[in-house]
Every structure is written in C-alpha cells, then in structure tokens.
Structure 1
C-alpha cells in the first residue's frame, strides 16, 4: 500500500490534535484513501512534556530543520505560527520537494505570494484550510464546490473572540471591558487581545478569502480594518431597537464591468446585520462565512472557528487531499488559491472612500437647542439623508446620545461630514461611533 510520510512542526494544542488524529484514526484514513498516512517525525522545543500520546514509533527532535530536510518525510505540517521562523521552514520544505500543510493565517496572508510560486514551479501543494474558519470548509467550498461560479461577495464572522464578546455584551447588557476580562479568563482572548479585538486576525483571513474568491493577489495590508473596542452596551441596545445586531464582519466584493473584476473591496469592521438574518444568529465563539455566486446564489458555512479538534480536523483533511494524489502527482487537485498560478492577477483594492453603505452614527452632544439642526444640516451638505434619528436619555454628564441611521452614501461623504460635525462645539469629539450596515447578508 502506498504511504505518505508526515513530519510535524509544533506539538502545541493543534499539533497534538493533528498527531492524535493521525495515530488514532489511522485505519479510517487508510480505508478512505486506499493508502497509508503515517506520522514519522515531529519537532518541538519542548520534548519533555507528556502529551498523552504514544510517540514511540515517531522520531522526535528539538530542531525543525531535521524535519524539513529529512529524506523520509514527504509532507511537512507547519503549526508553529507567526511569520518567522515559520516562513523559512516552509520555504526550506518546498525547496526539498515536500508538500506543506499549515494552519498559519498570518504566514499565508503575509508570505503566501512568495510561497505559492515556489510550490507551483516544483509541482507541490500547499494546504491551509485550517487557516480560515478552523474546521469550517469555507475555502474548500470556494476552491472546489463553487468553482463554476463568479463569486459576488464574501461575508464572514471570522473571529470567535469578538463574536463571544459581542454576544455576551448583548445578552447581559455588560460593558466591553468587563466582558473582555471574562473572555481572557476563559481563554478566548489573549492577555494582549489587540490582534483579535482590533480586527487584525479577521483582516488576515479576509485577505486570503478575497484573493481566492476573485483570482487576485493577497493584500492583507490594504484591508480596511476597525475593531470592536469602542462599542458599548448602549450601542448594541440601540441597534437592536432598530432591528439589527452588531457583528464584526469581514466583507469582500468584486467591482468591475460585465463580470470582469477590476477592483476588490475589502473591509473589516463592526457591522449592523438584520436580526432576521442567519448571520445574526451566529453567537458565542462560533464562526460563519457566507459566499454568494452568480449561479449558486447564497451559501453559508457555520461552525467552530478555532480549538484543537476542529482545527486539527481541517489540517488532516488537507493532508488526506494531498495523500490522495501521492506519489503520482497532484494534478487532480485544485490549485491552492483556486486559480492556476499563472492566471492570478494583482488587482487594485478599492479605496475605502469609494465604498457605499448605510451608516449607524452615535454622537454624544451637549443638551442645548440647535445641536441636532446643525448636525443634520452638515449631513445634508454632504448629500447624506437620514432613515431614522433617535435622541436617547441624558447622561449624568448632561450630554445626550443621538443615534442616526442614514440612507446609502459613500464612505468619503460620510467621513467628510463627520469631520465637520466633530468640529462643532456641542459635539464630544472623542465620543463618536460609526457602524456600517449590511442588508445583503443571508
């Protein structure tokens, strides 16, 4: 029976999960593939810790170079995380003729465009399903199941930490700071939560999804990114009163004439989604991705976006895909980014100022006559009309929250208006919140 030999870099939570599946599900994998997938080697700086698995038949090393250059390894699984030394190890593995599977979204978002050409030139595969959405097969859907479609949009709740925080704030009427502390205590948020709560993690994942959807290059640095740290329980309540729930979404759309993608819109920010939508029902630490195509219309993928078992499941699924064509070649597999490398294009990112949305605006203003008239006059100067305006109860500071929902306008118009509004003496410049509304989510 043909055998694929696997070398594993990193025996942390996900690495142990991958090792567990390869060891405990070995017979099931063989029955599915008609060939063996065998874990032959693993590297980690800490080899003393008991991982609760029998590694007696596996060569262990504290030097990853032993794995990426080994003659008895056909495929390297990179689960170190971060940019370096992960990039160097993956590049070395490719240069030594080894397929690669990784769960490292930061690596793919920043260095994917450096790694994919090397893999293509050498006839190798890079699998990274686990990098976006954990155990949700959203990229496999884009790459294979929806391959006959011109993709019209991608929306996603791509960070379980943010979704957990927003869910708790809504259910308990709690402040952001208090829920963040709870999320840290439960292990959902890191001691430094910036990467999650300011939208960086979501932006990395969205940049990969967008490039895969539209045949463009990955441009993580060009994703417009805002986090959830300015949202209050009162904002969540106001949105609910208007028929919406606040979710941190990654949103990508193509723009062009007659089906030709000329620019790609990519943005990450807290978003108003209709209460009746499926996306609004995604709670706690779950993730969801909605992909819309010209023939298939709306499809949605939901599940755990992180954790040992879902992420390890996605990693091993990639290993099995590659194993299915080993050793005779992987020509039957879709290219890693869903388009052959030679056809992928460097497509411009749409400037955020040109995007069009409806907006939720919360201002804190002094309780005196004429303030609302001044605000609405400025909005009218910038061709922004209002769908709703609500004046909330006065705060102890004697300031009054004003909540407005606009009709569709451009981000450029909105930002120009807000710049003038915050210059008004009656408006608290540091207490302004802007949320964008998406009614197209299913």
Structure 2
C-alpha cells in the first residue's frame, strides 16, 4: 500500500522485517518442538536460538539467483547459525512456515483493527449522547419524512459498529490457524505433534486438516469482513456528505485552519475526507472479490493465490486501519449546525406531521382511505403554495367536521412524535 494511507503500526506488521521475524519465529518454534521430541539436540537448539537472524538485503540478493523467497530466507539464516542450521525447516514445506507466519500477521492486524473499531464506537456513542434530543428532519428517498433527533444517526452507527466488532473478532478466530503438516498435508516427513507444539507456542489453533496450505476460505472470510466494516464507514461518510450539501448544511466534517478546498474557488469547504473514505471502501470490496477468487486452487495447491495475497491482505488491513482512524477524527471534531436543523425542519411547512394527522382522523371515525385522500390533497396544496399543512387542514370542510382546531394543532407537537427516543437509547446502553 502507498505510504499516503499507511499508519505506522499497521505498516510495521506488513513490512518485510516483521514478516521475516514471523517466519523465523515459526522456524524456531518448530526446532523447539523437534527438540522436545528428541530430533534436535540441545546444543543445536541453543545455537539456533542464540544465532538465528536474517538480513533483508542479503535475502533479496540470494533470491535473485534462486528465485525462491523461502530458500533465500533459509540460506541467509543458515549463514548466521552455522552447522546447526541443518535442523531448521526440518521435515517442513514452505507453506508450513508461510501460512503459519501469515496467521500471526493477520492476528496482529486484527488486534489493531479491533482497537480501531472500539475507539470509533466510543466516539460515535459520545456524539449520539450529546445530540440525543437535537431535533432535525428525517429523510427517506432524500425527501423530508418525519422528525427525528440527530443523535439517532450516530446511535444507529453505534449499534452497527458493535456488530462489526463481533464480525472482526470472529474473523480473527477464523484466521488464527497454523499448519505444520509437510508437503501435501499428510505429515509424511514430520510428526503431527510438532504442529500441535508449534501452534500452542504461537497461540494459534492447529488446522484439523490441510493439504499443502491452509484453506483460503478463511482468508476470504477475513477480506469479506474488512469490506463489510468498510461499508459501515462508507455509510457514515456518505451520510455526512449528504448533510454537508450547501442547501442542507446540517453538519460539516472538520476543516482545520489553513486547509484549502479548491485550487480555483476559495470559498469551498468540501467533505474531502469523507469522500476519501468512500473511495477506499470501493477498494476493500474489490479486494474482497479477489479473496473469494483465491479459494479455488489446483489439487493439493498451486501458487496462484500467493501473488494476490501479497497485495490484498496487507492493503485491506492497512486501508481499514486508516479509514477507522480518519472516521474517528471526523466524528470527534464533527461540526453540527443545530440552527440549520431547526430551519430545515420548519421549511417542510408541517408536512412531516402528515401521518399524525392521518391517525387522528381515523381515530375520530373517518375511514383510512378518506383520511389519506384528504391529508394528501391538503399536503399537495401546501407543497405548491405558501401555506402550511395545518392551514390547509383548517380550510378543509371534511376535516373541520371531524376535528377541532385544537385537535389538529396537537398533531403538530414535536414532543409527541419523539416521546420514545429515550427508549431507543436505553436499549443501546447510551
């Protein structure tokens, strides 16, 4: 992933240095297991533990000749260890090391993502509580519907982020699997107990069955989970973008001093970070698709998945980590224009109370069909004139025959429509 979207800690997990550290960790764990089973002598294990190291530049140099990264790595480690290196990678195939080490990377990445989701959820929860009773208009199909509170929007995100946290936790468990089962998964050259010891040492589950590789449905699930979480962040970003439109202007993403919105229009204050998150969510969905394509490999394994995973797994984790941090910054610094919310609600001329009028008329004895016809007709008149829905209702003879002016006016009380908001917040623990 390009440096622009890479945060330090997540970038470190996907660096060559960390990857080779995990490779070495797996190889040493296997040597420890073999030592417990009497295959590796104590003095050899001591040498391996004390001397095992690698040099990235040297690995790349060797790889230019052998065209095999694992062999280049093992050759370089042997240069450091000496004669005891003959026990390193004993009975193993490349994927025993590669897939098990990859699981360690994915677990580390998952921990960062879980922390990012949790941080964002807490920020969203605080925003929801702050605006629990901040009244605004709700919109369906982009058109004014009924009054809501602004706090309900982040409350909705809060609940969804809770589900996303659980998805991420499950994805971590799905991918927290290692294998040390030799060339085609039959343990033909290695004791199955080695796998059990290695995985216990590395805090991984041993795959109950594998061929040459851990099956890629696990990795596909991981990528799908990241894409789904990205979808929630995109939903939040698109909502903020919509509410930041000039004619709406109910919220704005932060615009720090010195920031510029356009090279040619000095007045511009664009939701560019939200737009960036929207774009990056598309990338996550693309990587998800590629991950699903990787499930199918030839027979006991081919290498078609490898080149793909060098990009998709690292990039997806790095992108989501960046997106979570950026959205958290937006939420913590979101500008909320409560005056605009009041103004936009008032601009509906009372149309947002049409359902309450409909229910009142039916309660007074009018059929639902007649009540709907009358309220719709009065609403259309208000839409197309300077009057309000209440004005049109008071002028209507059929309505006047059923309800008094006071009864009609009671239909337009905000408190009645929003009387159950607290129940929703209580359900969420906010």
TM-score (norm: length of structure 1): 0.26
User: Which structure is larger by alpha-carbon Rg, 1 or 2?
Assistant: 2
Structure with the higher helix share, 1 or 2: 2
| Structure (1 or 2) with the greater strand fraction | 1
What TM-score comes out, normalization by structure 2 length?
A: 0.27
